């Protein structure tokens, strides 16, 4: 399972472009930040809702307490009327009843408890449904005192007083229920806040840590692939056996594919250059005239078979010598000046005939013709020279003419 997860991660990290990888890694801290902002706004709105609940609950409790006081006052007025028969007490009760109706309507619109709204509606109905003639003020006839109530009327008034006590008990129950409901809502709100706070802390810590861990894994993966790419370039530069390039569809994978194509093209070009170089070497070695190549210091770096046979030297004996070391001692300074002038890029005419020393001590008279080899920016990197036979009185061996045939102006061109 772990290997499968690593394989999925490797494929994901190798295929997605760098911009997409960067945006994906930014999702974690940005997501955590947005979630924390959302939690803060949610908690702020919840706090405002809790404050509104507290305010409404206080209004309900204060309103129920005030309604209880008004009911108690109305109950007192009815009791006093029963004792005194004073009709003014009933008139005040009618005003108190209207005020109580308005207060109960306001409480029903404010409370958040459905049961409290139902009970307040019942209380309002009980109060507004009283249409008994006993609630009316008795008349006074011709200055006669108010007629005292009979037993039946008193009983009905006592029932109304009991009903008010019931209504006060219901208001007390509503107040208690509203207080309990408010306490429960506040506890639930605090519990929700604690959960939100803990969730915000976990996400604020976990998301950046997860993004950082993925960044480390992704960075390590990219570094590993870049190291492989660097090794591939190193092997390519030093012409060593190639290793597989990093795969994938991202920038590193595309660069690896381009380098692989470039390596194949360079190998093909190298093989072509080696083939052409071998052709040049073959032409140099098989040339019918004596040839040698000098470096920038006038040292012999290559000499063909004709020249080695002519002078009698083996390859190890002639290579590494200066060109003027092959000339007789009295002519070396003149030969050195001619060679150095050619190496400095100055126009050089054909050198006069000079006596060359063969390995067996005999001399052979040869003429030196020089051709500068150009390097970059017009610099001379060496000289290719041709030895032409020029027998004269100083030649020691009668067979020299047989060894080197006199040739006309050579048409041989040294490939570069």
Strand partners, 356: 327, 364
**CATH class of residue range 288-403:** alpha beta
pLDDT tens digits for range 282-297: 888 888 888 888 888 8
Residue 363 buriedness (CB in 10 A; 0-12 / 13-18 / 19+): middle
pLDDT tens digits for range 91-110: 666 677 777 778 888 888 87
Residues of the chain with CATH 3.30.450.20: 288-403
CA dihedral 32, 38, 39, 41 (to 10 degrees): 150
Can you give the pLDDT at residue 412? 38
Can you give the pLDDT at residue 344? 82
Residue 215 has pLDDT above 80, yes or no: yes
The least confident of 63-67, 257-261, 275-279 is 63-67
Structure-token match 């208001």, residue found: 171
Residue 346 corresponds to which tokens in the numbers above? 């100055």
Q: What percent of the chain has pLDDT over 70?
A: 80
pLDDT tens digits for range 116-173: 778 777 777 777 654 444 444 444 433 333 445 567 666 776 777 777 788 778 888 8
Can you give the pLDDT at residue 57? 80
pLDDT tens digits for range 301-355: 888 888 888 888 888 888 998 988 888 888 888 888 888 888 887 776 666 788 8
Residue 401 has pLDDT above 50, yes or no: no
């Amino acid at each position: 399972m772990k290997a499968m997860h690593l394989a999925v991660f490797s494929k994901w990290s190798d295929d997605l472009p760098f911009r997409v990888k960067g945006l994906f890694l930014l999702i974690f801290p940005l997501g955590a930040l947005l979630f924390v902002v959302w939690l803060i706004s949610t908690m702020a709105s919840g706090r405002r809702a809790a404050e509104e609940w507290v305010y409404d609950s206080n209004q309900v409790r204060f309103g129920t307490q005030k309604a209880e006081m008004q009911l108690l006052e109305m109950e007192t007025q009815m009791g006093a009327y029963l004792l005194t028969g004073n009709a003014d007490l009933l008139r005040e009760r009618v005003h108190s009843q209207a005020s109580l109706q308005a207060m109960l309507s306001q409480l029903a619109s404010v409370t958040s408890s459905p049961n409290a709204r139902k009970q307040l509606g019942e209380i309002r109905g009980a109060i507004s449904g009283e249409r008994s003639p006993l609630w009316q003020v008795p008349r006074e006839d011709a200055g006669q005192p108010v007629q005292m109530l009979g037993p039946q009327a008193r009983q009905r008034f006592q029932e109304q007083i009991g009903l008010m006590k019931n209504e006060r008990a219901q208001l007390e129950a509503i107040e208690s229920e509203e207080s309990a409901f408010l306490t429960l809502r506040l506890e639930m709100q605090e519990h929700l806040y604690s959960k939100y706070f803990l969730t915000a802390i976990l996400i604020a810590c976990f998301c950046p840590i997860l993004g950082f861990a993925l960044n480390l894994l992704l960075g390590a993966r990219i570094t590993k692939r870049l190291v492989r790419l660097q090794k591939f370039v190193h092997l390519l530069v030093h012409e060593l056996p190639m290793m597989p390039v990093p795969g994938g569809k991202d920038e590193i994978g595309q660069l690896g594919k381009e380098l692989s194509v470039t390596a194949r093209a360079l190998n093909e070009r190298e093989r072509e250059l080696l083939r052409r170089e071998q052709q040049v070497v073959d032409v140099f070695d098989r040339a019918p005239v004596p040839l040698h190549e000098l470096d920038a210091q006038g040292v012999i770096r290559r000499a063909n078979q004709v020249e080695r046979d002519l002078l009698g030297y083996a390859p190890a004996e002639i290579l590494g010598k200066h060109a003027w070391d092959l000339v007789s001692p009295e002519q070396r300074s003149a030969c050195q000046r001619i060679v150095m002038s050619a190496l400095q890029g100055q126009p050089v005419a054909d050198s006069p005939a000079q006596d060359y020393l063969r390995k067996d001590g005999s001399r052979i008279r040869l003429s030196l013709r020089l051709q500068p080899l150009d390097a970059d920016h017009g610099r001379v990197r060496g000289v290719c020279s041709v030895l032409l036979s020029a027998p004269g009185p100083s030649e020691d061996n009668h067979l020299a003419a047989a060894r080197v045939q006199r040739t006309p102006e050579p048409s041989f061109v040294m490939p570069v």
